[in-house]
Structure 1
Amino acid sequence: MAAKALKSVAKVVGGEYQYPWREKLAKYKNELSKGVGGYWELGAWKPLFISARRRARLRKEVLLAGADWPYDPERKEMRTKRKGHKVDRIAAEKRERTAELMEAMPQMLADYRKRRWERKMKAEEDAAKKALND
């Protein structure tokens, strides 16, 4: 299929292939370098002199011939933002956090009991010291 398309693009002149896209590329080089759809000039949008259909056909001919096409715009980074409802994501995160806290709960309770016991012992010591001083 590609070979058939290549034959339709190339002309045979004097025993060797001649590619008309080279001439077109040279002719529209300045126009193609301005952008894909057009460009801003003095605050006004100027469409390209060459139509999008002709530009696409020329691009296809160049790529089929195996040449490089430097006039495509740079691609943006892929979107990393997840789709869906924020409420659902937040609820899932809360469930995960709750599960983590429940695993740590026995240690947290032990720490709480220890702090409460230390506070009680300190209060009893303070009361005993106060009783001795009075």
Structure 2
Amino acid sequence: MASKAVKTMAKAVTEYQYPWQEKLVKYKDELTNGVWGYWELGAWKPLGISARRRARLRKEVLMAGQDWPYDPERKEMRTKRKGHKCDRISAEKRAQTAELMKKMPQMLLDYKKRRWEKKMKAEDDANK
């Protein structure tokens, strides 16, 4: 007798569906205003439905195979990783040094040319 009552109770519990459609209609305006609340006339208004009940409603809607359009947009994932500033600066310095080393032969030729021109000018001044 007791097992029959347990079976009927279990059947009743499994057949019971959370009335999400009525709740969704009731709180539709609230849910479109935001996840946590919204500003109205310069004052913060929390939602009329608690976060726990909102989460339960969302779960029921998704389990029923319906779409839940009230979630906020997700931000992009950070691609730049955090680190120590000294490591970042030293990497930038190494890159700058590599660029300068590529230009080094031309810089040396320019330096030698300037030095030669300065020497020639000094000789011309001395001869006058």
1:58 lines up with 2:71 in the alignment: no
Q: Which runs of 5+ in 2 are unaligned?
A: 1-13
Relative to structure 2, which stretch is displaced further, 94-103 or 107-116?
94-103
Letter in 1 for 2:30: E
Letter in 1 for 2:29: N
Residues in 2 aligned to 1:108 and 1:90: alpha-carbon distance in whole angstroms: 25
Q: CA deviation at 1:77?
A: 3.1
In structure 1, what is the equivalent of residue 39 of structure 2?
A: 40
Relative to structure 2, which stretch is displaced further, 94-103 or 33-42?
94-103
- What secondary structure does 1:46 align onto? strand
Q: CA deviation at 1:127?
A: 4.8
In structure 1, what is the equivalent of residue 19 of structure 2?
A: 20
List aligned pairs for 1:1-134, cutoff 5 A. Answer: 20-125=19-124, 127-128=126-127, 131=128
- What secondary structure does 1:33 align onto? helix
Q: CA deviation at 1:125?
A: 4.0
Q: CA deviation at 1:42?
A: 3.3
Q: CA deviation at 1:120?
A: 2.3
Q: CA deviation at 1:80?
A: 4.7
CA contact (8 A) 1:9 1:20 kept: no
Identical aligned pairs, as a percentage? 78
Letter in 1 for 2:73: E
Residues in 1 aligned to 2:106 and 2:25: alpha-carbon distance in whole angstroms: 76
Structure with greater proportional helix content: 2
Residues in 2 aligned to 1:27 and 1:34: alpha-carbon distance in whole angstroms: 14
- What secondary structure does 2:44 align onto? strand
TM-score, normalised on structure 2? Answer: 0.71
Structure with greater proportional strand content: 1
TM-score, normalised on structure 1? Answer: 0.68
Residues in 2 aligned to 1:87 and 1:26: alpha-carbon distance in whole angstroms: 56
Q: CA deviation at 1:10?
A: 7.4
CA offset digits 1:97-131 (Å, max 9, x no partner)? 22332343233212210221123234434554xx3
Q: Which runs of 5+ in 1 are unaligned?
A: 1-7, 12-18
RMSD: 2.6
